[in-house]
């Protein structure tokens, strides 16, 4: 079978939000890209994930020409609630930092990015198979793949691996220099999506002796709820009625009384872990997003951290192609990892302080309660949390 030859400046592996945003930013600077994605466009658009955008993510999307609907259709949040022992207090993001976050689902972001990319006539291959990377240590690198029973080969200057934790890009970082830092948490999250009015107009992070719970939303009529469960629990162990009862127990009582229940339209179990892979680059290959780091959904940092990677990486490419300087590209991993470590650290702290499990000793549980009580009283501590929640500056 004859191989079709393609040429571009930056080949992007992964057509999710990170890969699409990188292409969008680069194409607006007249830098050529080609995106390849293992799944169909329909599959990508059905993925329902993170829905809270940091201040910096919103600004980045606006600057890329895809922020209009975030402002018009997204929900601006100036704070969130934390509860402990059925008593809640509010972290005022706006008062502490002068910034806010927006609730705007990943699906909507992906829709916006696809529309923008289509308008710019971006080259995007879907349902690709047998992806292979070669010649990373040469002037020109190559990406080979199969799509619709046709073989293709992209010759490019650089490759951006935005293909997630299950992707192939990270496997091309040599084992002798690759380090993986992993924490496996002793619990999972059971989440449901329902066509119900959110129980509160801001997120509620609830610490309870029976386990953590989160009340979130996608819009004014679409709610997203989570409860902490053991690893051994399966979706079939949790019919809707049982889930609502358990959620009601863990949320502060005033919210339990107003909780609107309904049939779940999506249900999932997620095992929690933190992972940082370093370095995030080798020769002509650069990793971004879940390909390089994973963390629990606590604090909604995953997508936001992917976008900060894209900011640093796009700046590196723009500096190289527009100014002829490789400095930012050469320093990409070092600079991006500084923010990665800070963000993963915040996610770990928030996860640890809000969850209970059989593996927690009594002293750990009491220390968590004490720390939450101190956080409730301390304006200085709340300011530190707020600064991390809205996102540290790029």
Q: Which of 77, 142, 170, 293 is catalytic?
A: 77
297 part of the active site: yes
Q: Which of 205, 225, 255, 332 is catalytic?
A: 205
- DSSP run (H or E) holding 110: helix 106-119
301 part of the active site: yes
389 part of the active site: yes
Q: Is 67 helix (H, G, I), strand (E, B) or coil?
A: coil
Distances (CA, A) of 176 to 173, 188, 279, 355: 9, 32, 11, 36
What is the longest distance spanned by two Cα atoms in the chain?
Answer: 69
Distances (CA, A) of 80 to 88, 206, 248: 10, 11, 18
Q: Is 223 helix (H, G, I), strand (E, B) or coil?
A: strand
Q: Which of 301, 312, 320, 321 is catalytic?
A: 301
Q: Which of 152, 158, 320, 389 is catalytic?
A: 389
Q: Treating both helix axes as pointing N-terminal to C-terminal, what angle do 302-323 and 55-63 enclose, rounded to 10 degrees? A: 40
Place of tokens 């890209």: 33
Q: Which of 255, 297, 312, 321 is catalytic?
A: 297
Distances (CA, A) of 283 to 138, 268, 289, 334: 8, 38, 18, 14
User: Cα(181)–Cα(278) distance, rounded to whole angstroms?
Assistant: 8
176 part of the active site: no
CB 285 within 8 A of CB 133: yes
205 part of the active site: yes
Q: Treating both helix axes as pointing N-terminal to C-terminal, what angle do 362-377 and 332-354 enclose, rounded to 10 degrees? A: 100
Side-chain-side CA neighbours of 123 within 13 Å: the count stands at 13
CB neighbour list of residue 289: distance below 8 Å, 6 or more residues apart: 14, 16, 18, 162, 164, 305, 306, 309, 310
> Which residues participate in catalysis according to the annotation?
77, 205, 297, 301, 389
């Amino acid at each position: 079978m004859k191989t079709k030859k393609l040429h571009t400046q930056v080949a992007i592996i992964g057509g999710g939000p990170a890969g699409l945003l990188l292409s969008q930013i680069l194409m607006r600077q007249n830098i050529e890209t080609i995106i390849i994605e293992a799944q169909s466009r329909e599959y990508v658009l059905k993925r329902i994930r993170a829905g809270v955008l940091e201040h910096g993510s919103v600004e980045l999307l606006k600057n890329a020409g895809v922020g209009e609907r975030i402002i018009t259709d997204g929900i601006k949040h100036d704070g969130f609630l934390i509860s402990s022992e059925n008593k809640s207090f509010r972290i005022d993001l706006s008062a502490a930092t002068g910034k806010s976050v927006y609730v705007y689902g990943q699906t909507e972001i992906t829709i916006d990015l696809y529309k923008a990319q289509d308008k710019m006539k971006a080259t995007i291959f879907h349902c690709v198979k047998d992806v292979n990377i070669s010649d990373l240590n040469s002037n020109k690198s190559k990406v080979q793949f199969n799509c619709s029973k046709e073989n293709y080969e992209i010759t490019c200057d650089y490759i951006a691996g935005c293909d997630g934790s299950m992707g192939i890009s990270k496997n091309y970082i040599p084992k002798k220099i690759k380090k993986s830092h992993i924490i496996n948490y002793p619990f999972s999250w059971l989440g449901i999506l329902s066509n119900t009015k959110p129980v509160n107009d801001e997120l509620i992070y609830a610490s309870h002796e029976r386990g953590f719970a989160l009340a979130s939303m996608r819009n004014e009529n679409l709610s997203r709820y989570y409860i902490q469960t053991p690893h051994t629990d399966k979706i079939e162990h949790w019919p809707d009625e049982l889930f609502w009862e358990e959620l009601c127990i863990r949320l502060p009582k005033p919210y339990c009384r107003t909780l609107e229940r309904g049939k779940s339209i999506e249900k999932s179990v997620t095992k929690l872990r933190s992972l940082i892979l370093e370095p995030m680059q080798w020769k002509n290959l650069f990793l971004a997003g879940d390909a390089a780091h994973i963390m629990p959904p606590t604090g909604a940092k995953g997508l936001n951290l992917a976008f900060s990677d894209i900011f640093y990486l796009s700046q590196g490419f723009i500096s190289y192609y527009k100014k002829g300087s490789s400095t930012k590209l050469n320093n990409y991993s070092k600079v991006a990892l500084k923010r990665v470590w800070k963000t993963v650290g915040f996610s770990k702290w928030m996860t640890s302080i809000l969850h209970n499990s059989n593996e927690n000793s009594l002293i750990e549980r009491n220390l968590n309660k004490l720390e939450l009580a101190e956080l409730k009283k301390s304006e200085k501590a709340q300011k530190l949390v707020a600064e991390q929640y809205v996102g540290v500056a790029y």
